[in-house]
Amino acid sequence: MASSKDYFADEVGVLSPNQLQVDELYAGEVGYLSASIRSVADARVGDTITHYDRKAESSLPGYEEATPMVFCGLFPVDADQFPELRDALEKLQLNDAALKFEPETSSAMGFGFRCGFLGLLHMEIERLEREYNLSLITTAPSVVYRVNCVDNETVECSNPSLLPEPGQRRSIEEPVVKIEMLTPKDYIGSLMELAQDRRGEFKEMKYITENRASIIYELPLAESMFISQMVGDFFDQLKSRSKGYASMEYTFIGYKESELIKLDIQINGEPVEPLSTIVHRD
């Protein structure tokens, strides 16, 4: 219902466990529907399907379209692999409804795609390289920033190269998450140091058991998902510092104004836009 697309159902059936075609599906049954739907955007996971002539008054509660949280540019090392990269992204999108991509062109890197991911960025890229035999160049990951301009307009920016000039903006807000780390007490100090190094703001710590604690921080999404390639992923660092015993979960809580600037990379005195990134002034 969310996509407002109409399709003719070629077949309906149930799983028993193999697909078994039936004439009708009734309330309470778990089944499948075949309707020659060619675009994954027309049938998002969790959306409601209703009869064309007897439409439901509203969608079933709980549906929310998945929104990408992390963005980066993907460029094939071999320019001739651009069609293969497009086909691979289209196939990957069938399994990952949150994946979004659009063509991107760079004078330095040629033709590629600006991609948005919901899950772990490096795992998706490794899958593209492994399953589709592609050699890729990946630009610095970025999250969605909110830019408050001097004309009182607010724009969302996931591509650092499209960030308004300093004279056109009043402030930049970055997404912030609440992270809860569950850890044995022996690693509390090391994990608190990790969070504070990522510009984290301490909120609460409590002991769940005599030897296990819950530590809550608020920190920028960009810092919780990744930092520079040299430092590594936050989750990997958490596992390393706790010898694999700690776990974490995070919840998006909103946007917060911060001292952010655009960092440009130049080659032979010329800025290479796909390599630009947004970093904290400190």
The confidence band for 183, taking pLDDT boundaries of 50, 70 and 90, is very high
Contacts of 178 (CB under 8 A, 6+ apart): 203, 216, 217, 218, 250, 251, 253
Report DSSP state, residue 29.
-
Residues 30-41: tens digit of each pLDDT: 888 888 877 766
Query: What is the model's pLDDT at position 40?
Result: 67
- % of the chain beyond a pLDDT of 90: 43
Does position 229 have pLDDT exceeding 60, yes or no? no
- Sequence letter at residue 282: D
The confidence band for 10, taking pLDDT boundaries of 50, 70 and 90, is confident
- % of the chain beyond a pLDDT of 70: 91
Query: What is the model's pLDDT at position 91?
Result: 85
The confidence band for 225, taking pLDDT boundaries of 50, 70 and 90, is low
E strands in 143-265: 145-149, 154-157, 169-184, 201-207, 212-220, 247-258, 260-263
Report DSSP state, residue 199.
T
Query: What is the model's pLDDT at position 236?
Result: 83
Report the CATH number of the 70-138 domain.
3.30.70.870
The confidence band for 1, taking pLDDT boundaries of 50, 70 and 90, is low
Residues 33-75: tens digit of each pLDDT: 888 877 766 777 777 888 878 777 777 777 677 778 788 889 9
Task: Give the pair of three-digit tokens for residue 166.
Answer: 């300093």
Does position 230 have pLDDT exceeding 60, yes or no? no
Q: How far apart are CA 28 and CA 49, in angstroms?
A: 14
The confidence band for 233, taking pLDDT boundaries of 50, 70 and 90, is confident
Report DSSP state, residue 23.
S
Architecture field, domain 145-282: 2-Layer Sandwich (3.30)
Query: What is the model's pLDDT at position 176?
Result: 92
DSSP string, 135-166: -EEEPPPB--EEEEETTS-EEEES-GGGPPPG
Asked whether 12 and 22 are in contact (CB, 8 A), the reply is: yes
Does position 232 have pLDDT exceeding 70, yes or no? no
Considering only residues 113 and 49, tell me which one the structure prediction assigns the higher pLDDT.
113
* Average pLDDT rounded to a whole number, residues 115-144: 82
Bridge partners, residue 205, by sequence:
215
E strands in the chain: 11-15, 19-22, 31-34, 70-76, 100-106, 110-117, 136-138, 145-149, 154-157, 169-184, 201-207, 212-220, 247-258, 260-263, 266-267, 270-271, 277-280
* Average pLDDT rounded to a whole number, residues 95-104: 83
Query: What is the model's pLDDT at position 141?
Result: 81
Of 27-36, 52-61, 169-178, 186-195, least confident by mean pLDDT is 52-61
C-alpha R_g of the chain: 23
Does position 123 have pLDDT exceeding 70, yes or no? no
Give span(s): CATH 3.30.70.240, the chain. 145-282
Considering only residues 1 and 86, tell me which one the structure prediction assigns the higher pLDDT.
86
Query: What is the model's pLDDT at position 120?
Result: 61
pTM: 0.71
Q: What is the mean pLDDT of the chain?
A: 86
